[in-house]
Amino acid sequence: MLIGKEGQVLDIKETVQFFDGHISEWMIRQMVASGEIPHFRMGNKKLLFDADKLKLWWENKLNQSVQPSQGGGKEKSELCGTLRKIKI
């Protein structure tokens, strides 16, 4: 899925291509604003991304998504809300 050569520096359009379009330019910009995705700036505006760091970041995200949830020791029924009747 991930394309790019080792040590390659990507601009935002190339980063979208790096993720095969699975992550949009808008979403990448949102992740930059929240500090979620590794990046650096050239000057005031130009966003740049290191392909190696992006690959590691993506692999970590994938590993986190397949980890079983611990739930803090609570049973499933304790994590869910309860239904109640409402008067109309």
| pTM for this prediction | 0.64
Report which DSSP code applies to 24.
Answer: -
Strand, coil or helix: what is 56?
A: helix
pLDDT tens, position by position, 3-18: 555 679 999 999 999 9
As a CATH number, domain 9-66 is 1.10.10
- The tokens of 23 are what? 């992550």
Residue spans per domain, the chain? 9-66
pLDDT tens, position by position, 16-69: 999 888 899 999 999 999 999 999 998 888 999 999 999 999 888 888 877 665
Contacts of 80 (CB under 8 A, 6+ apart): none
Say if CB 13 and CB 54 are below 8 A apart.
no
